[in-house]
Chain A
Amino acid sequence: MAATPQLQLRCCAASGCRSAGSEALQAALLAARDQLGGAAEAVTIKPVGCLRLCGRGPLVAVDRSGGDGQESSAGSTELYAELTPEQAPALLAAATGLGEGPAAAQRLDPAHPFFALQKPVVLEGCGVVNPESIDDALAHGTYAQLKRVLLECSPEQVRDQVKRSGLRGRGGAGYPSGLKWDTVALQPPGPRYVVCNADEGDPGAFMDRSVLESDPHRLIEGMAIAAYAVGAEQGYVYVRAEYPLAIERLRLALRQARGKGLLGAGIAGSSFNLRLEVRVGAGAYVCGEETALLASIQGQRGTPRPRPPYPAQKGLWDAPTLINNVETLTSIPVILREGGDWYASIGTEGSKGTKVFALSGAVANTGLVEVPMGTTLRTVVQTIGGGVPGAGGADGGVKAVQTGGPSGGCIPAHLLDTPVDYESLKALGSMMGSGGLVVMGETTSMPEVARHFMRFSVNESCGKCVPCRAGTVQLAHLLDRFVERRATLADLERLEELCTMVGATSLCGLGQAAPNPVLSTLRYFRQEYQAACRDPDQCEPLDACLLQEVTR
């Protein structure tokens, strides 16, 4: 047996590839295996999560001998893109060495920077484990850290590792996770809750969805460890209803974990109890704001409330509540396995570890990217992403990169050498955000981009506070004037004034960050706004604009 190479086909079964027809492809592969017989019968065909290059799905990885997708000296992995069900027999034949494979253009090079520069930490199990099988997850080591900490570590020791890791919240704001965990744990005795924020709503962001669809058990393990560390016995995962596959797989994973005694009473033989439930959002973007999310879990209207008190002090039903994003909680098992110091050795001084980005827009390679913090935007966009298709030049046809969705900003091409970390992006008037990276080509109109995001904020404002409810509407109308090139310089002044007011006085993060797309495009592409002013005589000459851009 040892002489026969073991073959495994990993078929991406996450939303991106499914929308490209991966289900039919997998069925065709199974049928082809039965039909071919012989050597093909020994081939394992398993559904896995995201294989990263979402833009060219459906993707299938072929592992020889080594398996697990990790290339060993004895094994190798090939990756095929854009497969059709008709190509299934050819793929199987090629895998077993009995015939020609699919077209060479469909065979991806695993040494391409898109794959080679990635550092999977959060996505370690994505594309490797079968998201619908707890046995496969257990075989890949999931829940091992939970069992270990329950047996060997005190909650303080767990929190200590998280503090040492330097992990910061991946939901966008970057609050130090260890500090938040301590704040919850050190509240006066009483019930506590742990909540996972999976209400990923930024346009262009699909990191959390991919994690939920690809490796839900790792998230559950991370949540269970967090609950143990802060003393919570009840937790909720708040997922948006727009992620049906993620909800389905998460619910299945929770059932499986309960069945294996990894959730519920006396987990893994310890005295630790934890009940985890899924709460499904109803389509409001603002419910990703933590206080609105908590209100929504309690069955109330999803509107934010002023902080303080912060949820760590008074959250669900006024009890201390730990609320973390999917990516944050999913990094926990690896941090405990490798140690906080190991995690802290990745990344930059102020931003440790890795960050998952959802790369999309005018870029050749669209998909999920996990890179160490401090990687430059240029590496992400041009080396990994391949730049704008068909464009050349120093900046690869990139005009700007939008980070942080409607709360973030546009970073111009000349600043592409900025390292990706919380502080650097904030200094540029954008923000890390949840990880959506939208690349914009040279034909993009910046006032239009700003209006697009402002309209998003208009639609998604909860309507509670006046700067956000009425201010965003006025901002969108003002931006209409620039897009339609009927603005005046007075409009430009009013636009800036109102942006400042809405940002400074809104109740929650949605309103406070809503002007960011306008402010950042004003900062770097002011000439486009000035060019849209009605009377050309009133506009500043172009060279003055450029000078201003440099000095600002």
Chain B
Amino acid sequence: MSVHTLTVDGIEVAVPEGASLLDAVRAAGVELPTLCHLDGLTPVGACRLCLVEMESSGHLQPACATAAGEGMAVLTQTPQLQHYRRMAVELFFAEGNHVCAFCVANGNCELQDVAVAVGMDHSRFPYQYPHRRVDASHPQFAIDHHRCILCTRCVRVCDEIEGAHVWDVANRGGECSIIAGLDQPWGEVQACTSCGKCVDVCPTGAIFRKDDTTAEKQANRERPQLLRSAREQHQWQNQ
């Protein structure tokens, strides 16, 4: 297996071929916020938080969805990137209805964590207060679209790991929403195995267990990676 060497913020790192820029950033010990990315799922490069600057061209590339290459030099913490990251988080907060105080994921929410990480204490953009739905038709779980940030982790985990493809995205632009089955109530989708992986990977309180109330959500976001390495490399958690 060949190895690529590259620099991240001036730090030299070596990563195996096939690694992403995000892997390289982590290998360099640099903290980079992510939201849509989750280890074990196909990267989509949608949240734009992990954008890094290619030193040679000045282009911005999503670290999660860009392959690391020999001799690359990337910058992750330029003032401009930090500025953009903060604005992206502001846009996330402004487009949904995120009220931490009574959210099931309060204290265990990646959106909240990212806001802290990028120093976003308020949004300069007006809140949109969209009218969205809550679907509690499933016996164990519910989805509250007000808290959905359209990261599509649920879509990917259900398709790629569970193989049920219950979830998908409907409509476009700001009207986008996650749908179950053929835009049916979740509880009526026969393909759903009630495995709960979508609950585990959801970065916010959008998908949750009905048993949980405010600040009680416990997510298991390592699950896709564990399952994937078990399947592909035959490495099990208890080995």
Contact = CB atoms under 8 A, between A and B. Distances in A.
Q: Do A and B come from one complex?
A: yes
Interface of A: 284, 286, 301, 305-306, 308, 458-467, 469-474, 477, 494, 497-498, 501, 504-507
Contact of B45 (A461, A465, A473, A501): A465
22 contacts: A301-B168, A305-B44, A306-B61, A308-B67, A461-B172, A462-B173, A463-B173, A464-B46, A465-B45, A465-B47, A466-B88, A467-B48, A469-B95, A469-B150, A470-B91, A470-B94, A470-B95, A473-B95, A497-B87, A501-B83, A501-B87, A504-B84
A368 B110 CA distance: 53
Contact of B91 (A306, A308, A463, A474): A474
B46 A507 contact: yes
Contacts of A460: 172-173
B66 interface: yes
B60 interface: yes
Interface residues of B toward A: which range? 35 or more
B224 interface: no
A505 B88 contact: yes
Interface in B55-82: 60-62, 65-67, 80
Interface of B: 44-48, 51, 60-62, 65-67, 80, 83-84, 87-88, 91-92, 94-95, 124-126, 128, 149-150, 168-169, 171-176
Contacts of B87: 497-498, 501
Given A505-B48, A507-B62, 10 more contacts: A308-B67, A462-B173, A463-B169, A464-B46, A466-B46, A469-B174, A473-B174, A494-B124, A497-B87, A505-B88
A183 B128 CA distance: 45
Contacts of A507: 45-46, 48, 62
B45 A306 contact: yes
A468 to B, nearest CB: 8
A28 to B, nearest CB: 44
For the complex of A and B, the 7 pairs showing the least CB-CB separation, nearest first, are: A463-B176, A461-B173, A470-B91, A470-B95, A306-B45, A306-B65, A505-B48
A193 to B, nearest CB: 22
B173 A459 contact: yes
Contacts of B91: 466-467, 470-471, 474
Contacts of B84: 501, 504-505
Contacts of B44: 305, 464
A303 to B, nearest CB: 8
Nearest to A465: B46
Given A306-B61, A467-B88, A470-B91, A458 B46 contact: no
Which applies to chain B's interface (DSSP): helix, strand, loop or mixed?
A: mixed
Nearest to A494: B124
B60 A505 contact: yes
Contact of A305 (B45, B60, B88, B174): B45
Contacts of B149: 466
Contact of A301 (B47, B60, B124, B169): B169
Contacts of A308: 66-67
Nearest to B65: A306
Contacts of B61: 306
A539 B174 CA distance: 33
Q: Counting chain B CB atoms within 10 Å of each CB, which of A460, A461, A501 scores highest?
A: A501
A390 B141 CA distance: 66
Given A459-B173, A470-B95, A470-B174, A465 B125 contact: no
Nearest to A506: B48
Contacts of A469: 95, 150, 173-174, 176
Contacts of A505: 48, 51, 60, 84, 88
A422 to B, nearest CB: 19
Contacts of B46: 464-466, 507
B126 A477 contact: yes
A466 B47 contact: yes
A286 B92 CA distance: 22
A458 B84 CA distance: 20
B171 A463 contact: yes
Contact of B175 (A306, A463, A464, A466): A463
Nearest to B47: A466
A474 B48 contact: no
Contacts of B62: 306, 507
Contacts of A461: 172-174
A306 B44 CA distance: 8
A466 B173 contact: no
Nearest to B149: A466
Contacts of B174: 458, 461, 463, 469-470, 473
A4 to B, nearest CB: 61
A506 B124 CA distance: 19
A306 B173 CA distance: 17
Contacts of B95: 466, 469-470, 473
A55 B235 CA distance: 69
Contacts of A465: 45-48
Contacts of A301: 168-169
Contacts of A466: 46-48, 88, 91-92, 95, 149
Contacts of A305: 44-45, 65
Contacts of B171: 463
Contacts of A306: 45, 61-62, 65-66
A471 B95 CA distance: 9
A461 B172 CA distance: 6
Contact of A473 (B48, B67, B128, B169): B128
A474 B173 contact: no
Contacts of B125: 474, 494, 498
A500 B69 CA distance: 28
A268 to B, nearest CB: 42
Contacts of B176: 462-463, 469
A522 B66 CA distance: 34
Contacts of A463: 150, 169, 171-176
